[in-house]
Structure formats: structure tokens, C-alpha cells
Amino acid sequence: MIKVNDTLLMKKTSYIIVILILGLFFFYAGCQRGEKSSASSPVVALVLKTLNNPFFIDMQRGAEDAAKQLGINLIVQAAEREVDVEKQMQIIENLIQRKVTAICVTPSGSKEIVPAIVKANRAGIPVLVVDTRVDAVTLNEAGAEIATFIGSDNVEGGRIAGEYIIKKLGGQGKVVILEGIPGHETGDARLKGFHQIMDSNPGIEIVASQTANWERDQGFNVFQNILQSHPGVQALFACNDMMALGAMEAIAAAGKSGQITVVGFDAVSDARESIRKGEMQASIAQHPYEMGKLSVEYAYRLVNGENITEYIPVKIELITKKSLD
């Protein structure tokens, strides 16, 4: 015979089980709603060359501010070194597998990046290129396309640097160039603009032009060797500030501070401080914060069905002690 107390206990147990089942159901339903809400927000990836360079840290900051304002889920990833093209390709392929909404990328290799763009095209993921142009011939041959290019005119930047150095030297002198990565569009464009000015001035002699692969320590080593071979050098154009800052250290070590006109490119915070102190004479500013901000803003427009132009320019200008003051 079942006692009354046992019957009550069974009813209470059944009641508790029902409550637990209902609780689990509503919890699961809530999770599902949360996933749908998160998935409804665009997921934009910003793939940088590296985050060991203040230029790209500023770009990341601009992208993060725009993403916060627009309610975008932003993923920022980069290789350790700017020269690591394979790592950047791997990052992009992983993002394609994650099915992000759009990819913004600063290519480590103007030609090498094309196969990754092809894969993104096939996956229906738009690609916005930032700061460094993709090689147009390679892109066309692969049948690939990009949504837009956001960046500055690097050729014009090279011309501005060349005009400044010629003015400082009075049209005559020995000049050294520290190049970026060989075959890299950004460095090639800056060199092209610089040579357009220098080659038309017979009083200027370029005594050395070598790569330092965008890196500060290589800028030091390469320029230290150049100074030993060409002690009479009067000016240096470095295709980015990190190489210029490394060269400044080599100049100081050689006891030649204040004797060589140094012009960098990017106007990062360390370079601006050096210019304020009167150590480095000038740098070409590209405004990376603005590039990062625009990349996210235009990715947002694109995924919301808006048409965007194939080129979105970012201003470029000469930074000197006078302009900073």
C-alpha cells in the first residue's frame, strides 16, 4: 500500500522535474536568441602587416573606434613581422573559414596576396585593401577583384620628400636611400616619386640605395655600413620611419648627429618626437588612424548594400619641426 506521504512526495518530485525541464528549455531558447542577435551584427576583419609598428597600431585604433560607433564586431589580426607574407595568407584563409562579413587588409605582398583575394571572392566575402595597393596586373590575370583601395598617394609622398631634401641641400649633395621590402608596392611607389625628383637634379648623387626591410634594427645595421663606405653622405631618405629611426641611432653612434639631413615616411609618434628635438628633419604623414577608421566605415556601407568608389584617398603631407610647433 502506498502511503499518503509517499504520494505527496511523488507529486512534488514530478513538479520539480517539470520546472527543471521548462527552465532548461527557456535557457536554451535564450541562448539561441543571443546567437542570432550576435550573428546579425557584421563581423569585419582587419588584417594588418604587423602590430609591432606604431603606424599599424594607430590604424587599429581608428578601426576600433569606428567599429564601436557602428556596432560592428571587429577582428584585428597580424603577423609578427611585416615580411611574413605566408602568415598573413594563413590568417586570411582562417577568416574565410570563419565566414566573416568583410575583410580589410594591408597586404604584406602586393602580388602574393592575390590568391587569398581569389578565395575570398569565391566565398562571397568583399575585400577592402588599405594602405598598400595590390598589383593590378596579377589581380586581373587571376580574375579577382577588390571592393576599394583606401590609402595615400605614395608616389606623391616620395616626391615631397625629394623636394624637401633638394631644398635643404641647395640642389647639390650626396644622398642615401633606405628602401622597403623589394618588390613591395608601397616602397616601390615611394622610391618612384623620390627618383622622379632626384633624377632631374644633376647636382644630386645617390651614393647608395639598399633595403632595410622596414625594420628599425636593420635600418641601424645597413646605414652603419653605408656610413663606413660613404662618410661624406649629406642626406638620407628612408621609406619608413622605423628604418629612419634606426639610421638616426647609427648616425649618433658615428658622432655625426646634426650633420645629415634625415627624412622618413609615416610620421609615427617616435619620429615626430625626434623631429621636435631637431634630430630628424622631416617625415611624410599618411594618417593611419584615418585609414583604419575609413576601412571599417566603408566595409559597413558595403555590407549594407551601398555602392562605394574604387579609390578612397587619404591626405598626405610633410611634417617638420615648424609644422609640429
In this structure, the answer to whether residues 141 and 51 fall within a common structural domain is yes
Could you tell me if residue 13 is inside a domain?
no
Closest CA to 148 of 195, 103, 116, 206: 103
pLDDT at 184: 83
Residue 67 burial (CB < 10 Å; 0-12/13-18/19+)? Answer: buried
Do 133 and 216 belong to one domain?
A: no
> pLDDT band for position 288 (50/70/90)?
very high
Say yes or no: 191 and 132 in one domain.
no
Return the CATH number at 117.
3.40.50.2300
Task: Tell me what pLDDT residue 314 has.
Answer: 96
Contact criterion met (CB below 8 Å) for 47 and 105: yes
Same domain, 100 and 64: yes
In a domain, 30, yes or no: no
8 Å CB contact between 318 and 164: yes
pLDDT at 325: 85
**165 and 265 assigned to the same domain:** yes
Structural domains counted in the chain: 2
> Is residue 9 predicted with pLDDT exceeding 80?
no
The pLDDT > 90 percentage for the chain reads 83
Q: Is residue 143 part of a domain?
A: yes
pLDDT top residue among 33 and 101: 101
Asked if the model's pLDDT at residue 7 lies above 80, the reply is: no
Shared-domain flag, residues 134 and 161: no
Q: What is the pLDDT of residue 40?
A: 67
**Segment among 3-17, 55-69, 237-251, 271-285 with least mean pLDDT:** 3-17
Torsional sign, CA 137, 177, 172, 272: positive
Q: Which domain holds residue 98?
A: 43-151+288-314
Shared domain check, 209 and 247: yes
Residues 97 and 184 in one domain: no
Rounded average pLDDT over 96-121: 96
Task: Provide the pLDDT for residue 215.
Answer: 94
User: 8 lies in a domain?
Assistant: no
Q: What burial letters (b/e) apply to 95-108, b meaning 16+ CB within 10 Å?
A: bbeeebbbbbbbbb
The answer to whether residue 19 is domain-embedded is no
Going by pLDDT thresholds of 50, 70 and 90, the confidence category of residue 181 is: confident
β-pairing verdict for 317-320 and 282-285: antiparallel
3-class DSSP state for residue 19? helix
- State the DSSP code for 122: H
| Residue-wise pLDDT tens digits, 22-66 | 444 443 333 333 333 344 689 999 999 999 999 999 999 999 999
pTM equals 0.79
For residues 140 and 193, state if they share a domain.
no
Task: Mark whether 113 and 165 lie in a shared domain.
Answer: no
Determine, yes or no, domain membership for 230. yes
Mean pLDDT of 104-111: 94
Separation of alpha carbons 240 and 191, rounded Å? 11
As a whole number, the mean pLDDT across the chain is 89
CB 152 within 8 A of CB 284: no
